[in-house]
């Protein structure tokens, strides 16, 4: 039987290859995810472990809350006297502010340490520092400071000088100290990669720096212990353990690194799981493609199978034969998929390794048993499971079929009642859950998370139901749309008729595409809805599109420096900027009865302010005798209608309070009122209204560019919106990218189905050619067929995605934003166009095969 199976596989090698590609891609996805996850873990492990240098043991805080106090210098020294310990090094990180000329670098620094084995950094040029006025620096820092070995850099030192007369008890004084650069240090394993490398000082200089920066007692969070050569590690460990306080733990270097990293990588693990979820979707789609292929293979082999039954093969043998075929295909494809995935990750490593990303990346992937076995097992299992239904179909072939005339096997494939019932049950159940989740989220409160979980479950269940039932309704949709198309010409008419011939296969092929497209559409609808809904909420929070505040302190005037008039004029000129309102300000005391507060008071005319905001009625009440107070200035104590005494540097006014939602933490008065409070104000703030809030990103970038040389704070709805848009867009791009793999597999399925149809309809194609169908018409028929199958899958996917995306948005966002259901027309159209183009592309090869069919074959009798 095995020989027969293999012989049959040889005959169908082309079909099997096409189906195998689906599994190859799916498995490669899984393998690449697992391997990349491993690489991430290893890179962070290497980096963490590198900080421990060649230490034998590390004393670390395991419970920062119960550790009574940190290890002191004496306690650290005491550890050095433990038997078998060669050296100990308390790990302290200091931060240096280094300068040279105009450049300044903020640099972590560590001590040389008592033993080279406990030093994670190496010297590549020169030597480690030997005195308190020497330093060794990473090459990148030297470059930034434009310094070299033998030269000097300036260290800025802040010293607290006690002064009993000062109300703060003293004063911080800045001074500088010259340090001679003695060497260039390298961080071969990236112990400090995330901090931009580390400088090395002598231990004394490091302590001094720490004392300067921090007047509290010197503490050590980690102590590295180097055992004497040949000492028994377990004994040394026990001895050190006896010495340290509670809350500390003595770990070997590996244990310490592993424990430090477990917290770091839990995030990476979550990421890996999420990506594996997408890989699962790809594999599900691949399973549909495989199942389809095997169904056709069985149909094509009806005569052979019947012949085998005639000569005595049992049903079980036939089933086993198909399953064996799937097993072989699964193993071969999965292994190929693993190799492909591993290759991709390896290529990525090489590319990343060439680019300087700052973090040392392993040069090669490490294939573990798990990262090899899982993808291969999963890929094989998916293939075998997908072949079970076709395998059962193989057993249904009657021995008599061998004797019937060799007409194309009619696969009417009546869908079972069980399937229909299950589908209906799932759809109804899922919909009920979705509606329930919707109601729950409407009630708000802490129910949102529960509602989300129920909603996701309901969505998933109903979607599975829809997919299960696809065979009942999808062919109908295809034939309706096909009927419309059929009027356009004979090719379309043939194509439409052809898609209706095997409803089950058409349904399965379309469904494979529908899955990916639904998810893509859902994500893009969700993203668009989130975007508009959240920006609606933002508009309410920030009435001003962009708010620019001066951040430069004018020492002499003791106020924020003015925003340069020329720069503001430049903003005025920008495309996309509708209006710039300039505001002057002063600090004033606000007194109402007993309550007193200090606030920034800004001057703006009602008309000018109204031009700056979208809700212009906000400022209608502003006149020379009023002060507009945002709630957060008055803190509810200064209420609407109260009379407040406002005292500025140069004057005092009695003003009536109007509480409004004005932007920023500042009160507003008219310019005349402001002048009465302070005679020397400058323009230190500006409000900018943009022409189009939907095209904010570019304008915000432009404004940032104008102020690149001036210290300002740029905020506001447009800025928030731009930032949020970026986050949503990135998120969407990543998800769509991951789902694209499922879509690609589905398109392979479309090509595969078309190719199989071409083979099945070989004689029909020849007949059509014989009675006058041109090659071009035949190719067009296949093209229309491909586009019809892909287009319907995509169209239905888009519709389903719309529904799910909207429902999801309402459930997820309903409590904190007014959800405005948004249709991302551009994205959805793009999805449809891509699907149609891909359907067309998928038809190219099969159509060429079909067009090569000689009309003579119509006359051939099998």
Q: Using CB under 8 A, pick the residue from 767, 815, 820, 849 that binds another protein.
A: 767
Question: Residues with Cβ < 8 Å from 723, sequence gap 6 or more?
Answer: none
Question: Residues with Cβ < 8 Å from 168, sequence gap 6 or more?
Answer: none
Tell me 195's DSSP state: G
Extract the runs of DSSP E, i.e. beta strands, from 691-737.
712-715
Judged by CB under 8 A, the stretch of 43-51, 246-254, 368-376, 491-499 that binds another protein is 491-499
Judged by CB under 8 A, the stretch of 109-117, 636-644, 667-675, 848-856 that binds another protein is 848-856
Find out whether 55 and 118 touch, Cβ atoms under 8 Å. yes
Give the residue with the Cβ less far from another protein, 304 or 858. Answer: 858
Is 487 one of the binding residues for another protein (CB under 8 A)? no
Nearest CA to 291 out of 598, 749, 603 is that of 749
Nearest CA to 614 out of 535, 716, 543 is that of 543
Q: H-helix or E-strand containing 532?
A: helix 503-541
Give the residue with the Cβ less far from another protein, 402 or 768. Answer: 768
Question: Residues with Cβ < 8 Å from 286, sequence gap 6 or more?
Answer: 22, 23, 25, 26, 382, 386, 745
Q: How far apart are CA 52 and CA 656, in angstroms?
A: 65
Q: How far is the CB of 363 from another protein (least distance, A)?
A: 56
Q: How far apart are CA 327 and CA 382, in angstroms?
A: 10
Extract the tokens encoding 747: 């398109």
Q: How far is the CB of 394 from another protein (least distance, A)?
A: 23
Q: How far is the CB of 478 from another protein (least distance, A)?
A: 13
Question: Residues with Cβ < 8 Å from 643, sequence gap 6 or more?
Answer: 592, 654, 655, 656, 657
Q: How far is the CB of 506 from another protein (least distance, A)?
A: 12
Q: Using CB under 8 A, pick the residue from 407, 573, 594, 692 that binds another protein.
A: 407
Q: Using CB under 8 A, pick the residue from 221, 656, 715, 777 that binds another protein.
A: 777
Is 653 one of the binding residues for another protein (CB under 8 A)? no
Give the residue with the Cβ less far from another protein, 303 or 775. Answer: 775
Judged by CB under 8 A, the stretch of 255-263, 325-333, 393-401, 489-497 that binds another protein is 489-497
Pattern 537-576, another protein, x by CB under 8 A: ----------------------------------------
Q: How far apart are CA 24 and CA 282, in angstroms?
A: 11
Is 856 one of the binding residues for another protein (CB under 8 A)? yes
Is 769 one of the binding residues for another protein (CB under 8 A)? yes
Find out whether 667 and 630 touch, Cβ atoms under 8 Å. yes
Give the residue with the Cβ less far from another protein, 491 or 518. Answer: 491
Q: Using CB under 8 A, pick the residue from 251, 345, 768, 789 that binds another protein.
A: 768
Nearest CA to 566 out of 683, 702, 719, 690 is that of 683
Give the residue with the Cβ less far from another protein, 402 or 677. Answer: 402
Tell me the number of residues near another protein by CB under 8 A: 30
Q: Using CB under 8 A, pick the residue from 38, 46, 187, 764 that binds another protein.
A: 764
Q: In Å, what is the CA distance from 816 to each residue of 539, 715, 802, 809, 832?
A: 14, 21, 21, 11, 32
Q: How far apart are CA 404 and CA 414, in angstroms?
A: 22
Give the residue with the Cβ less far from another protein, 370 or 860. Answer: 860
Is 414 one of the binding residues for another protein (CB under 8 A)? no
Q: Using CB under 8 A, pick the residue from 123, 238, 339, 408 that binds another protein.
A: 408
Judged by CB under 8 A, the stretch of 328-336, 524-532, 664-672, 770-778 that binds another protein is 770-778
Q: At what angle do helices 825-852 and 775-813 cross, to 10 degrees?
A: 150
Give the residue with the Cβ less far from another protein, 768 or 828. Answer: 768
Give the residue with the Cβ less far from another protein, 369 or 861. Answer: 861
Q: How far apart are CA 497 and CA 374, in angstroms?
A: 43
Is 855 one of the binding residues for another protein (CB under 8 A)? yes
Q: Using CB under 8 A, pick the residue from 6, 61, 483, 858 that binds another protein.
A: 858
Nearest CA to 508 out of 320, 838, 757, 739 is that of 757
Q: Using CB under 8 A, pick the residue from 405, 446, 636, 641 that binds another protein.
A: 405
Give the residue with the Cβ less far from another protein, 84 or 503. Answer: 503
Q: Using CB under 8 A, pick the residue from 410, 569, 672, 711 that binds another protein.
A: 410
> Residue for token digits 């891509």?
834
Is 774 one of the binding residues for another protein (CB under 8 A)? yes
Q: Using CB under 8 A, pick the residue from 358, 436, 500, 576 that binds another protein.
A: 500
Extract the tokens encoding 138: 């990473």
- For 725-789, the three-class secondary structure string (H helix, E strand, C coil) is HHHHHHHHHHHHHHHHHHHHHHHHHHHHHHHHHHHHCHHHHHHHHHCCCCHHHHHHHHHHHHHHH
Taking the mean position of all CA atoms in its chain, how far away is CA 102?
A: 38
Q: Which of residues 279-338 bind another protein (CB under 8 A)?
A: none
Give the residue with the Cβ less far from another protein, 146 or 854. Answer: 854
Q: In Å, what is the CA distance from 667 to each residue of 91, 586, 657?
A: 50, 10, 10
Q: Using CB under 8 A, pick the residue from 112, 386, 773, 796 that binds another protein.
A: 773
Q: In Å, what is the CA distance from 832 to each residue of 479, 513, 664?
A: 18, 11, 45
Q: How far is the CB of 802 from another protein (least distance, A)?
A: 33
What is the torsional sign of CA 104, 198, 268, 342? Answer: positive
Is 165 one of the binding residues for another protein (CB under 8 A)? no
Q: How far is the CB of 835 from another protein (least distance, A)?
A: 24
Q: How far is the CB of 768 from another protein (least distance, A)?
A: 8
Q: How far is the CB of 771 from another protein (least distance, A)?
A: 5
Q: How many CA atoms lie within 13 A of 814 on its CB side?
A: 24
Judged by CB under 8 A, the stretch of 146-154, 487-495, 592-600, 635-643 that binds another protein is 487-495
Q: Using CB under 8 A, pick the residue from 409, 489, 630, 649 that binds another protein.
A: 489
Is 771 one of the binding residues for another protein (CB under 8 A)? yes
Give the residue with the Cβ less far from another protein, 584 or 785. Answer: 785
Give the residue with the Cβ less far from another protein, 615 or 859. Answer: 859
Extract the tokens encoding 353: 């390794």
Question: Would you tell me which residues interact with another protein (CB under 8 A)?
Answer: 405, 407-408, 410, 489-490, 493-494, 497-498, 500-501, 763-764, 767-775, 777, 854-856, 858-859, 861
């Amino acid at each position: 039987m095995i020989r027969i199976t293999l012989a049959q596989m040889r005959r169908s090698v082309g079909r099997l290859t096409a189906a195998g590609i689906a599994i190859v891609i799916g498995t490669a996805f899984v393998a690449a995810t697992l391997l990349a996850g491993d690489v991430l873990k290893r890179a962070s492990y290497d980096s963490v472990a590198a900080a421990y240098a060649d230490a034998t043991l590390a004393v670390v805080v395991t419970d920062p809350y119960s550790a009574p106090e940190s290890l002191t210098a004496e306690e650290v020294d005491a550890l050095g006297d433990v038997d078998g310990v060669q050296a100990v090094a308390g790990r302290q990180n200091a931060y240096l502010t280094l300068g040279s000329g105009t450049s300044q670098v903020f640099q972590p620094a560590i001590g040389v340490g008592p033993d080279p084995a406990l030093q994670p950094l190496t010297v590549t040029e020169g030597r480690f520092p030997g005195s308190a006025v020497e330093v060794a620096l990473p090459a990148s820092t030297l470059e930034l400071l434009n310094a070299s070995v033998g030269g000097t850099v300036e260290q800025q030192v802040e010293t607290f000088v006690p002064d009993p007369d000062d109300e703060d008890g003293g004063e911080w004084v800045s001074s500088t100290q010259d340090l001679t650069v003695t060497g260039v240090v390298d961080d071969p394993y990236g112990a400090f990669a995330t901090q931009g490398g580390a400088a090395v000082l002598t231990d004394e200089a490091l302590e001094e720096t720490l004392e300067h920066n921090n007047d509290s007692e010197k503490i050590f969070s980690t102590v590295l212990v180097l055992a004497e050569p040949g000492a028994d590690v377990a004994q040394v460990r026990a001895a050190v353990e006896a010495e340290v306080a509670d809350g500390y733990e003595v770990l070997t270097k590996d244990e310490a690194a592993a424990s430090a990293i477990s917290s770091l990588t839990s995030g990476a693990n979550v990421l890996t799981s999420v990506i594996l979820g997408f890989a699962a979707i790809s594999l599900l789609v691949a399973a549909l493609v495989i199942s389809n292929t095997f169904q056709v293979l069985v149909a094509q082999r009806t005569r052979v199978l019947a012949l085998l039954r005639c000569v005595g093969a049992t049903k079980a043998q036939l089933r086993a034969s198909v399953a064996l075929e799937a097993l072989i295909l699964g193993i071969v494809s999965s292994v190929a998929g693993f190799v492909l995935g591993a290759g991709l990750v390896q290529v990525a490593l090489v590319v990343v390794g060439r680019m300087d990303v700052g973090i040392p990346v392993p040069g090669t992937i490490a294939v573990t048993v798990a990262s090899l076995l899982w993808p291969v097992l999963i890929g094989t299992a998916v293939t075998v499971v997908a072949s079970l239904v076709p395998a059962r179909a193989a057993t249904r072939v009657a021995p008599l079929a061998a004797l019937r005339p060799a007409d194309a096997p009619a696969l009417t494939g009546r869908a079972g009642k069980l399937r229909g019932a299950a589908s209906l049950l799932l759809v109804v159940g899922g919909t009920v859950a979705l509606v329930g989740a919707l109601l729950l989220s409407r009630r708000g409160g802490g129910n949102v998370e529960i509602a989300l979980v129920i909603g996701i479950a309901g969505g998933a269940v109903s979607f599975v139901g829809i997919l299960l039932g696809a065979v009942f309704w999808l062919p109908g949709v295809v034939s309706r749309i096909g009927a419309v198309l059929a009027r356009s010409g004979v090719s379309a008419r043939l194509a439409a008729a052809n898609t209706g011939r095997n409803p089950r296969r058409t349904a399965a092929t379309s469904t494979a595409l529908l899955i990916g497209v639904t998810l893509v559409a859902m994500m893009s609808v969700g993203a668009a809805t989130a975007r508009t809904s959240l920006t609606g909420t933002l508009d309410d929070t920030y009435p001003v599109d962009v708010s620019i505040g001066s951040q430069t302190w004018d020492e002499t005037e003791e106020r924020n420096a003015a925003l340069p008039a020329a720069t503001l004029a430049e903003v005025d000129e920008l495309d996309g900027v509708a209006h710039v309102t300039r505001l002057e300000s002063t600090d004033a005391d606000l007194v109402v009865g007993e309550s007193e507060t200090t606030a920034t008071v800004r001057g703006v005319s009602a008309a000018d302010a109204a031009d700056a905001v979208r809700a212009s009625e906000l400022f209608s009440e502003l006149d020379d005798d009023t002060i507009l107070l945002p709630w957060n200035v008055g803190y509810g104590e200064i209420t609407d209608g109260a009379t407040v005494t406002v005292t500025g540097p140069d004057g005092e006014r009695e003003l009536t309070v109007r509480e409004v939602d004005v932007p920023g933490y500042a009160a507003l008065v008219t310019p005349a009122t402001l002048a009465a409070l302070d005679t020397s104000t400058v323009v230190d703030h500006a409000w900018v209204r943009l022409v189009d809030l939907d095209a904010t990103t570019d304008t915000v970038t432009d404004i940032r560019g104008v102020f690149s040389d001036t210290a300002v704070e740029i905020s506001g709805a447009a800025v928030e919106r731009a930032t949020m848009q970026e986050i949503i867009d990135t998120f969407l791009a990543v998800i769509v990218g991951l789902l694209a793999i499922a879509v690609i597999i589905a398109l392979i399925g479309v090509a595969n189905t078309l190719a199989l149809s071409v083979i099945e309809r070989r004689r029909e194609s020849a007949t059509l050619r014989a009675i006058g169908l041109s090659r071009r018409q035949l190719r067009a028929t296949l093209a229309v067929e491909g586009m019809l199958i892909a287009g319907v899958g995509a169209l239905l996917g888009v519709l389903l995605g719309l529904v799910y995306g909207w429902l999801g948005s309402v459930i997820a966002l309903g409590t904190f934003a007014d959800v405005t259901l948004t249709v991302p027309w551009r994205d959805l159209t793009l999805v449809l166009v891509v699907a149609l183009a891909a359907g067309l592309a998928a038809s190219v090869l099969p159509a060429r095969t079909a067009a090569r069919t000689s009309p003579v074959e119509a006359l051939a009798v099998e």
